[in-house]
Structure 1
Amino acid sequence: MKLLRFGEVGAEKPGLLASDGTLRDLSGYVADISGAALSDAGLEQLRAIDPDSLPVVEGNPRLGPCVGSVGKYLCIGLNYSDHAAEAGLPIPEHPILFMKANSAISGPNDDVVMPRGSTKTDWEIELGVVIGTRAKYVSEADALSHVAGYCIANDVSERDFQMHLTGQWTKGKSCDTFGPTGPWLVTRDEVPEPQALSMYLDVNGQRMQTGNTSTMIFSVAQIISHLSQLFTLHPGDVISTGTPPGVGMGIKPQPIYLKAGDVMELGIDGLGQQCQVVRADD
């Protein structure tokens, strides 16, 4: 299934993408794409519904983040060896973890707003993983059974805030609108091999990032297992698993960063596409 949320900011309704390409309203069956709805039992109940019986969502509504009530937005840094190389940083021994504030989460096609004082706003396409069932001390072999599904994440980053404001990377990762997520949550049964997904990101029609999850340093299963040794992962938690090379910071001889009016287009095999216009904060 391809689950989604549609409507105005803060008032999104649950829905799904039917095989005929229409959006269908799930609000008669579930309050949101969150919590218990993401469990295996919850997803089975949704899977049993005939999409043709659901109301068609007319028009072209805004798509919100594909998961509601996110508990934790966890991000893995430097998880592609060639990205670590372009950043001039060593290959990590363990997954590098930082947090993105939940207030950064936005819809897949919402504007990305550069904060006041931003001079180095950058792009990062990533595979997002949504937890469906509680995970604590899980093995790598069992880790993927705790996944509800997968989505696209753009880990937008303000590099000057990230590197030079003293402290953790979170400062440069958590600006409002810096977490476009979606367009839909693709359930794990439709993604049998999360380590074989091609991805791309374009800026103003120019290909900047091309990658494949097969080149991750730490696999999705390894990441989930590792994090679950440290703290409990809960349904609705999102893990953004790192980006391939081609970010603006790594361009030689001179880095390139986003400016107002730029357009980012990005996609991952089977998970859809995103498109964001960049603008400056008022």
Structure 2
Amino acid sequence: MKLLTGTAPDQGKPQVFAVIDGRAVLLAEGDLTHIIAAQAAGGTLPAPAPDAPNYDLAQITPTRLLDRPGKIVCLGLNYAEHAREGGYDVPDYPAMFLRAATSMIAAEAPMILPKASVTFDYEAELMVIVGKGGRHIKQADALNHVFGYSVFNDGSVRDYQRKTHQWTAGKNFDGTGAVGPFVVTPDELPEGASGLRISTRLNGRVLQDSNTSDMIFPVARTIAIVSEIMTLEPGDMIAFGTPPGVGHARKPQVWMKAGDVVEVEIEGIGICRNPIQAEGDEAAQGFAAQ
């Protein structure tokens, strides 16, 4: 099933919709939290009521998939050519860092160009939403812990990212990462979401164009590794790194500016589109952005 979280024109609150025949059919109130929890407890996805309201997709304003996500675990250097373009060795163990919930916004919401920097870079990434939680998950069973797959538009503040050997600062400015608007359940995609085209367009110009089959650490292996370290819980998110073509590795370098529009697309899942806005409009920043 393909799911969408957003607000309909006659509603002032987030709802979950099933995307059926190109239309958004009301499935549940709120965000995905309760649906994920119910499935993790052994339930099944709900089906829309026969008389459920339905809308054109364009009528739905996307909202965050999860209003208060749990852990957001991110992989760096998960495509060999991206590691090389950044001057790094190809890792034999995943480079991991965490993102704060306050750094995350919805698709279509403005991504915030910080006052502190002009080196605002784009990254296309696959995002996994954890369903059933666990610790020490076996790789052979790991895909059974995936609720669904989404698109992550990972804005990165490069000068802050490189201030230290830890990437946390450059990856956690408020309102710099967007996820959504769609979540696709595993039965609708190839195993582990492998073999999907992944790309970035900035103002319509294709700057990244790769395939998820090129990931060094695919989904099942990554879940097994992460769960060696920490308990994964329903609603946690794991971002799977970006392919080559990022702005800081280009000559001349390409940075996102206020007024730009960045689109990340993953085949079979959808497009996460966001305008770039200079910091200053408080209503659009960080966790205030729906």
Count the aligned residue pairs.
274
Matched, 1:169 2:173: no
Cα deviation for residue 40 of structure 1 reads 5.0
- Give TM-score, length-normalised by structure 1: 0.91
| Structure 1 spans left out of the alignment, 5+ residues | none
CA–CA separation in structure 1 for the residues paired with 2:86 and 2:40: 39
CA distance in 2, matches of 1:188, 1:3: 12
Gap change, CA 1:145 and 1:12, over 3 Å in 2: farther
Whichever residue aligns with residue 129 of structure 1, its letter is V
Counterpart position of 1:24: 25
Matched with 1:273 is 271
Q: Distance in 2 between matches of 1:80 and 1:131?
A: 22
Consecutive unaligned residues of structure 2, counting only runs of 5 or more, are: 281-290
For 2:257 and 2:88, the matched residues in 1 are separated by 26
What is the SS of the residue equivalent to 2:16?
Answer: strand
Q: Match of 2:234?
A: 235
Note if contact 1:265-1:273 (Cα within 8 Å) is conserved in structure 2: yes
Residue 250 of structure 1 and its aligned partner are, at CA, apart by 1.0
Q: Does the Cα contact within 8 Å between 2:27 and 2:48 map onto a contact in 1?
A: no
CA deviations over 1:65-91 (Å, ceiling 9, x no partner) = 223431011100000000001101011
Percent identical: 37
1:87 aligns with 2:86: yes
- Structure 1 residues 18-39: Cα deviation after superposition (integer angstroms, max 9, x where no partner): 3222222233xx5431155352
Write the deviation string for residues 192-238 of structure 1: whole angstroms up to 9, x where unpaired. 32111111111111110001011111111111000000010000001
Q: Residue 2 of structure 2 corresponds to which residue in structure 1? A: 2
2:63 alignment partner, SS class: coil
- In structure 1, the partner of 2:126 is 127
Match in the other structure for 2:77: 78
TM-score, with structure 2 as normaliser: 0.88
DSSP 3-state at the match of 2:62: coil
Q: For residues 106-145 of structure 1, what are the structure 2 equivalents within 5 Å?
A: 106-145=105-144
- Tell whether 2:91 aligns with 1:104: no
Alignment RMSD: 2.0
In 1, Cα distance between the equivalents of 2:18 and 2:5?
A: 10
Query: Could you report, residue by residue, the CA deviation over 1:109-147 in whole angstroms, capped at 9, with x for unpaired residues?
Result: 111111112110000000000000012101111100000
**1:128-187: per-residue Cα shift (whole Å, max 9, x none)?**
0000001210111110000001000011100011112x3621111111221211111111
